[in-house]
């Protein structure tokens, strides 16, 4: 496998099986997540996405399934969805969770098994790995919401602020810049009219680059290349034009390296020809633009961090079909 593919895809998928269109129950989502940890392409997994108010349910599901230790002793990382109006209480709950299950080196290292707040014995996914909530995600309606939240959020948690879909992102990004916070954009929906336009996504990426604010994306990025896809898993699903995760993340990397503006990025986001993205031992090319593997690594580390997906299998299957994974 090419180095640039591994760099691009390492820990890029935040598994969100609880959310549409999969909408799994907690037991099924945790079972899937645990299985993916030992899959051939587990290195592509980032965090597990769970609402903070369902952490106890998550604990109970792990107990009921008697999950066995991860052979590589890798901690499970969780990003918890929180609400601004109850932020203090939810952060307290997160720290209670982390005191019980966080990996060694934290304030309260766990043993291989520990008594769960949900009741019963929890077998940790890694004998020395543990489970830790190290990121939170919350929706904001106004830039002042970001100021309020950052006065509360401790440095141990990496915050992602989901901006309103039709807002001018510049004020929000100005509030995030320099705080350690990150932005979040919704790139899809199970309802076609709610899917943002390429110009909207391009404007967001360009503004994040200009503000030096890292971001993640969520929704609709199950497939590598932009095309028309089913929007749900129903027997007769509606369809819509969805962004490809290669389109979005390569657009971000090109934007960072070449200082592209929104109008320049639209063409990358709208690209539907998979052959237009050319990967080789040196990096990746699109049309006349080039990125070295090192430049791609910089973008993934400091700018375009991950995408939330309720499917882990679809991205893997599609990349295999493109001969980009082995």
Which pLDDT does position 124 carry in this prediction? 47
Q: Which residue has the higher pLDDT, 128 or 275?
A: 275
Q: Which residue has the higher pLDDT, 283 or 109?
A: 283
Which pLDDT does position 142 carry in this prediction? 96
Which pLDDT does position 37 carry in this prediction? 87
What CA–CA distance (Å, rounded) separates 239 from 231? Answer: 5
With pLDDT > 90 as the criterion, what percentage of the chain qualifies?
83
Which pLDDT does position 110 carry in this prediction? 36
Going along the chain from its start, the domains and CATH numbers come out as: 3-321 (3.20.20)
Q: Tens digits of per-residue pLDDT, 109-153?
A: 333 333 444 554 444 444 345 889 999 999 999 999 999 999 999
Which pLDDT does position 68 carry in this prediction? 52
Q: Tens digits of per-residue pLDDT, 25-83?
A: 999 999 999 899 889 999 999 999 999 999 999 999 988 887 754 545 578 899 999 99
Asked whether the predicted pLDDT for residue 222 surpasses 70, the reply is yes
Q: How confident is the model at residue 277 (pLDDT cuts 50, 70, 90)?
A: very high
For residues 97-102, give the mean pLDDT. Answer: 85
3-state secondary structure the chain: CCHHHHHHHCCCEEECCCCCCCCCCHHHHHHHHHHHCCCCCHHHEEEEEEEHHHHHHHHHHHHHHCCCCCCCCCCEEEEEECCHHHHHHHHHHHHHHHHHHCCCCCCCCCCCEEECCCCCEEECCCCCCCEEEEEEEEECCCHHHHHHHHCCCCCCCEEEEECCCCCCHHHHHHHHCCCCCEEEEECCCCCHHHCCCHHHHHHHHHHHHHHCCCEEEECCCCCCCCEEEECCCCCCCCEEEECCHHHHHHHHHHHHHHCCCHHHHHHHHCCCCHHHEEECCCEEEECCEEEEHHHHHHHHHHCEEEEEECCCHHHHHHHHHCCCCC
Asked whether the predicted pLDDT for residue 108 surpasses 70, the reply is no
With pLDDT > 70 as the criterion, what percentage of the chain qualifies?
90
Which pLDDT does position 116 carry in this prediction? 47
For residues 176-198, give the mean pLDDT. Answer: 97
Q: Tens digits of per-residue pLDDT, 225-262?
A: 999 999 999 999 999 999 999 999 999 999 999 999 99
Q: pTM score, two decimals? A: 0.92
Q: How far is CA 11 from CA 77, 116, 269, 308, in A?
A: 11, 28, 22, 11
Q: Which residue has the higher pLDDT, 75 or 216?
A: 216
Asked whether the predicted pLDDT for residue 158 surpasses 70, the reply is yes
């Amino acid at each position: 496998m090419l180095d640039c593919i591994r760099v691009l895809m390492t820990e890029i998928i935040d598994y969100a099986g609880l959310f549409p269109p999969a909408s799994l129950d907690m037991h099924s989502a945790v079972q899937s997540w645990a299985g993916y940890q030992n899959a051939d392409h587990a290195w592509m997994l980032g965090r597990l996405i769970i609402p903070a108010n369902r952490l106890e349910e998550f604990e109970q599901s792990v107990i009921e399934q008697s999950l066995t230790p991860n052979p590589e002793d890798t901690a499970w990382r969780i990003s918890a969805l929180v609400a601004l109006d109850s932020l203090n209480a939810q952060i307290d709950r997160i720290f209670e969770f982390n005191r019980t299950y966080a990996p060694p080196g934290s304030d309260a290292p766990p043993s291989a098994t520990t008594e769960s707040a949900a009741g019963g014995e929890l077998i940790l996914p890694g004998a020395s790995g543990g489970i830790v909530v190290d990121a939170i995600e919350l929706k904001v309606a106004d830039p002042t919401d970001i100021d309020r939240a950052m006065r509360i959020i401790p440095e141990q948690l990496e915050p992602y602020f989901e901006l309103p879909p039709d807002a001018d992102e510049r004020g929000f990004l100005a509030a995030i810049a320099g705080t350690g916070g990150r932005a979040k954009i919704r790139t899809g929906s199970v309802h076609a009219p709610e899917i943002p336009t390429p110009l909207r996504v391009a404007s967001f990426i360009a503004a994040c680059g200009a503000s030096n604010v890292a971001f993640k994306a969520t929704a609709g990025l199950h497939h590598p290349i932009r095309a028309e896809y089913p929007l749900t898993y129903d027997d007769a699903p509606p369809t819509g034009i969805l962004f490809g995760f290669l389109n979005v993340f390569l657009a971000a990397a090109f934007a960072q390296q070449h200082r592209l503006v929104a109008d320049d990025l639209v063409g990358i986001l709208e690209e539907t020809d998979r052959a237009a993205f050319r990967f080789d031992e040196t990096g990746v090319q699109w049309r006349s633009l080039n990125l070295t593997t090192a430049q791609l690594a910089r973008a993934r580390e400091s700018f375009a961090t991950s995408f939330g997906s309720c499917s882990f299998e679809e991205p893997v299957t599609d990349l295999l079909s493109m001969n980009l994974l082995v």
